[in-house]
Structure 1
Amino acid sequence: MRLWSHELWRLGLLAIAGTLVGWLFSAPGLGLALGLALRLAYHLRQLHALRRWLTRNPHSEPPAATGLWGELFDRLYRYQKGQRQTQQRLQTTLKRIQESSEAMRDSVVMLDQHGDLEWWNSAAERMLGLEAAHDRGQHITNLIRDPRFVTYFNARDYREPLTLSSPVNERMVLQFQITLYGDDERLVMARDITRLHRLEEMRRDFVANVSHELRTPLTVLAGYLETYATYAEQLPPRLAQGLTRMQEQTSRMQNLVNDLLLLSRLEIDRGGEDHLPLAMDALLEEVRRDAQALAASRQQVRVELEEARRLVGSDTEIHSALSNLAFNAVRYTPEGSQVVLRWKAHPKGACLEVQDNGEGIDSVHIPRLTERFYRVDKGRSSETGGTGLGLAIVKHVLLRHDAYLEIESRPGQGALFRCVFPAERLVAAEAAADRMTGA
């Protein structure tokens, strides 16, 4: 501000001096114009020096000047120096990020806000077949054309990863995870899980084979125990009591084997062949009767229908999932509780709900409830006869129906298990009737 005031004073003094000189020659206006022209020539000369400095070598020392122009040159020089340092730091950081990404065994692909390829590491070239010479600027779905990836990419719901075969090697299994960042840009990471996938297949095959092999001896054992039970009155009391325990444990083992076989089938078989519009009122009523029979008079089970549309799915699988939820509610709620089976609308489509007013579940257990054999109370679960696979079966059934499970519960406030189905899985009752007739 001080230099600007001095510049104004200089300009004023020059104008006065020019006017006085011109007045001596009887031309004050010409003198004033000459004085202003001299100051303008000075400023043009400094402006030319500024242009030459910026265009020829802005990294060199600025031109020598005093006053307002000297301060301007000095500030521009310091600003440029700061910008160069910032740019160097950013370049160093970017180089380190690229080097660290290159060292990763996972594929890293950066996409712009349109989904076009901007940058990727060498692992992406190996796993996805990307080529720098041809693919830069291409849309990601032009290179990874699997319909499941296209659907996953466009859905913009990246909470869960997607597992697919590599587009360049079908024997390589990749797990894709997309992250949104910046101005609607995306970071695509692909991880080679071929070994884990093979181990998982071996585990599934092992469980299925062992369960299948156990079914026959258990059936034979149960048959003989049932035969012996008809003569229980002729046996000593101690042997009769042991016979009853053997029958209970054999029945429990049969239930466990049956659940393991069902889980194996749900994991291996992609399903879809038996998907039809389901009469939800009849389905819920059937499950209610079974749950009420299990509860006897200890709990009350009722049905609430708030949605007229039908669900397109497998009657056997949906019945199994809903039964598991209803039976769990009956097993793990105290006497006098109420269990509600509900079919209602949902912002994303519709949902099946199983709600009780029992003891509830601590929030620490909720994330793990769908794990196999996970039990909140191991001793109590064993007494109720559960296998620990019910919620795992529910999870896999829902995955096969494009749905997901929500669990809401607090200790002392009951529990709510909600199976949310997308709108694409719903049809009106009239359309369902026409579809069934056409089938």
Structure 2
Amino acid sequence: MRQLLSKKKVYSKIALLFCVMAVVGFISNSLLPALLILSVALLLWHYHHLFILDKWLWQDRKLSPPLTEGIWGKLFEAIYYQQRKERRKQAQLYQVIRRFRDGAEALSQAIIVLNKDWSLVWSNKLAQHFIGISWPQDEGQRLHNLIRHPNFLLFIQQHNFTKTLELVSPVNEQLMLEFTVSAYGTEQYLLTIRDISQIKLLEQVRKDFVANVSHELRTPLTVLRGYLELMDDNSATNTKVWQQAQSVMLEQTKRMDGLVQQLLTLSQIEATTKVQFEPKVDVPAMLAQLKLEATSLNSEKQHKLSFSIDNSLMVMAISEELRSAFANLVSNAIKYTPAGGDIQVSWQRDNLSATFSVIDNGEGIAPQHVKRLTERFYRVDQARARNTGGTGLGLAIVKHILSRHKSRLIIASERGKGSCFSFTLPAELVLSD
């Protein structure tokens, strides 16, 4: 620990100087002039060091103290010591602030620190992406001047921060945001904003799923119930009515069974996290069998079916799932291509990968529908889908199957010019010749 400046030593030295100068003045018979000269010299010496101190503190860039002796040397050292101590504290404080900011920047939420009057103190970078606020450019701005939405103004005026506010982002309409305010210290607020777009989307998908399943099951059940109620009347149970009823009930029962089976398939695929590929799947043989089935399915519409198959192209895969993906894409082309159309099925090498594609010259699909085709129960044309017996789950199943096989469904379509549904299995799943 540094020693304090000793008053006794300082005063003793000054007294000794004046005593010596008094003796010299007495001997030279000029006591008062000698003491005056000493006083002026001491005063000039102190002012000289004051100027040195002022220059060091305000002009010099070097951190080390000026070199001098005596009490001023000790004073310079003391100031230098305090400066070093303050710099260490500032460096520690800077590290704490930097860790806080790095932590705030790493969060998946926008963080905004506000004064009691809702003026901006600090925000992380995500705040600019969510609501367009940028720090330090907007520092000091009132938040309700930056977010001009009636619901937000009402939210901060009510001061009921036990609840959250859900609001569409003012800079990106695709984002749904959740605002939460909490006390921060004694005179500030902490506003956190998180993106709940995905949560809202999942909620909507769940609602749509329940509504669609209910709707799909209600129609065949209503038909079955109607015929069963009709059969309670003995006068209606003649052979002709029964034959008609049996045919319709069988058709509706198959429709329900197909829907349930596809739901179970989709549920099973989603529930199975561990993927175990078969070491060798004979895709050409699988597609040869599929060609026979497609020809039978095509007997009514009489499309021109052509299969271009590389008979040496084998892969590692889950055979039943891959067959389901192939069958869904081919059957969809047959169902939704007008009679007499042209359908081309291809299974070929693409460098080291393997590509499967189904191309038709049907009506095509509008761009706004293409990106939603793999959603469960989504249909471009509800009436046409029911006429063809579609459930709206086929492409959703294909999407999940391909995801498990490290691939994805690519859809290219243009109204009036047909569609192309394709996917590519990666080279790691393709067996060499």
Please, what TM-score do these two structures have when normalized by structure 1?
0.47
TM, length-normalised to structure 2: 0.48
The structure that has the greater radius of gyration is 2
